[in-house]
Amino acid sequence: MSKTALLFAGQGAQVVGMGRDLAGAFPAARARFEEANALVGYDLARICFEGPEQVLTQTEHAQPGIYLVGWVAFELLQASVPGFEFHATAGLSLGEFTALAAAGALSFADGLRLVRARGRFMQAACEATRGGMAAILGLEENAVRQVCAEAGVEPANLNCPGQVVISGPADRLAVACDLARARGARRAVPLPVAGAYHSRLMTPAEGPLGEALAAVPVGAPRVPVVANVTARPHGGPEQIRALLVRQVTAPVLWEASMRWLLAEGFTRFIELGPGTTLSGFLKRIDKSAQVLNVADVPSLEVTARALAA
């Protein structure tokens, strides 16, 4: 029997219109969006469906929006494929909260409230500093790490072979991009983000997030949930809380996380939520892996047929 892992999108995957056709086609999805509006206290569904883009991309809206669409995709997939089973989960950055909720370690409502709070804490850290991120393409990881050390920035997302995102003060990022190009990077591209995520500039968000996590029930996951910080499965509730706090300033070890799942015999991966970024990373890591996704009604139908075959 093939082993299936669910993958949940992170910030940057947001797109105006995400989840709209799912809510239009399925009453259960529409009810989840209405529930989410009540939980966060404003019309998050409308921002997901209609934007405008500059509002949706704000960290405090993008994070709960992506979490919500990922969760709706997860529930609809379960409803569309009787007897559907999965054997591990993982999520990129905020997607780790969705992965934990899917594995039963967090309730849907608590996970949504947490990512809403996390988004606010990180937005405040962004506004208190002048930082950013850049994608370095076509340079080996060790070479990127050397560039970071010399420029005074940090590796933030180790996504797949030939793609590392770096993070830090805006002026030092420009230096790092110049160094990367000089060392042979194919491209060094500043990213349109609000701040220096997964770097020490996010430190002010750690304390408030830790307090928010301490106030929420956390259980043991029913299946392994691969942690961004360690690229290994989470342990019990206290370790989950600690790793989610560390994740705010630590690099996301996505490639290593996927390689752990592949080494454990996982052959099918289903990306849930807007976009197909994680599917693209996985194909760069292992072309032989079966990769499916659920982002809208057509992709749900394709994935349901593939699982039923």
Nearest to 29 by CA among 41, 39, 17, 20: 20
Cα distance from N-terminal residue to C-terminal residue, the chain: 13
* Sign of the torsion formed by the C-alpha atoms of 16, 300, 7 and 306: negative
- Rounded Cα distance, 119 and 105, in Å: 20
Nearest to 70 by CA among 308, 304, 300, 247: 300
Choose, from 93, 167, 199, 279, the residue flagged as catalytic: 93
- Rounded Cα distance, 191 and 203, in Å: 20
Nearest to 197 by CA among 275, 149, 146, 252: 252
Residues 6+ apart with CB under 8 A from 156: 133, 165, 166, 167, 196, 197, 198, 199, 251, 252
Q: Give φ, ψ of 252 to 5 degrees.
A: -85, 115
2 noted as active-site residue: no
93 noted as active-site residue: yes
Cα 186 to Cα 145, 154, 252, 290: the distances in Å are 16, 19, 22, 28
Choose, from 2, 80, 87, 198, the residue flagged as catalytic: 198
Nearest to 67 by CA among 27, 41, 32: 32
Contact yes or no for 114/216 (Cβ under 8 A): yes
Helices 237-246 and 95-102: crossing angle in degrees, nearest 10, is 170
- Rounded Cα distance, 306 and 292, in Å: 8
Tell me 42's DSSP state.
Answer: S
Residues with active-site annotation = 93, 198
